[in-house]
Amino acid sequence: MGLTYSRADSLSPPPLPSFADLTAATAKSIKESAKAEKINYLDLPAPIKYEDIQRETLMALKPEVFEGMRFEINKPLNQNFFLSHSLFMGNMELGTGGRQILKAPIGTYEFGANVISEKFMMLGRIATDGRLSGRLKYDLLDWLAVKLHMQLSNEAGQSQVMVDSDVKGHDWNAQVKLGSPSFIGLNYFQSITPKLSAGGEFFWLQSNLKSGVGFAMRHTGDKHVANLQVATTGIMSMGYAHKVSEKITLASDFLWHWQSREATATVGFDCMLRQCRLRGKIDSNGVVSTYVEERFAPGINFVLSAEIDHPHSNHRFGFGVVAGE
């Protein structure tokens, strides 16, 4: 009787899969991710200043909308010193306390002298209506700077002087404000995580016997910035800016006066094209505005400004030219 040989008998069953290597690789990946995400609270980044936490939303939603004609010329004399000339012809709104807005024609010319260097900056302007404004900033140390804001006017109660002291820490900053008439302000901003920062402010105005305390938070992501501010003066503000691409940013904000029970919501955009910057917004009050900056040539920009306010029957349109960087 011969032997019977089968091919199936010669093949051994396949080995069971081993998960040892896979488990080790997964554990190593999880360990590396946890190590990368671990926050070093002793080495947090420096936060933005308290007064600048709404910078991204303000740039998109609060352009300098004007009515009339405006021309600005900036003439550099050297690397640190330049002169500025500004001519404005338009309308000035007069508050009547009602829904109707009255306007009066106005024309002003301003002359400015500016000095800018690495450690200090001096800006000054004088207008034909008698207003004199100036700003001085000097960096005493790497962590200490002093700023002076001044505005003098012939009208009673319109002259103001403000002195600021900025203190910078490794992961925090603070500011002390002293102004006239009898104004004292303090604010502090601290980084909590690499993306989240929080702080508060306090102010006292002796002439009106008024004081207030505020709290603010700011979260910065890879493509978004969100901020929240609450103050005992009866105001809550929330803002959000999202960077859709390198050239397009969408923004929105919400302002609530809980004492007067009034709220306003605004949405807008900021678009940077090759030779043009376009900003526009619309709010819950029915106000639509847009601001266009077109670059004709290096150092020459053409500006268009428009705003439509149907509830108050107030429509504004302006154009201008800005020459010089």
Residue 259's pLDDT is 86
Q: Is residue 42 helix, strand or coil?
A: coil
Residue 17's pLDDT is 54
**CATH number of the CATH domain containing 250:** 2.40.160.10
Q: Is residue 231 part of a domain?
A: yes
CA distance 111 to 88: 12
Q: Is residue 82 part of a domain?
A: yes
Residue 8's pLDDT is 47
**Which residues, given as ranges, of the chain have pLDDT below 70?**
1-37, 95-99, 325
Q: Is residue 153 helix, strand or coil?
A: coil
Residue 4's pLDDT is 46
Residue 248's pLDDT is 96
- Tens-digit pLDDT profile for residues 120-140: 999 999 999 889 999 999 999
CA distance 242 to 134: 35
User: Closest Cα partner for 178 from 165, 188, 159, 187?
Assistant: 165
Q: Is residue 40 part of a domain?
A: no
Q: Is residue 28 part of a domain?
A: no
Residue 95's pLDDT is 66
Domain range for 74 is: 46-324
Number of domains in the chain: 1
Q: Is residue 80 helix, strand or coil?
A: coil
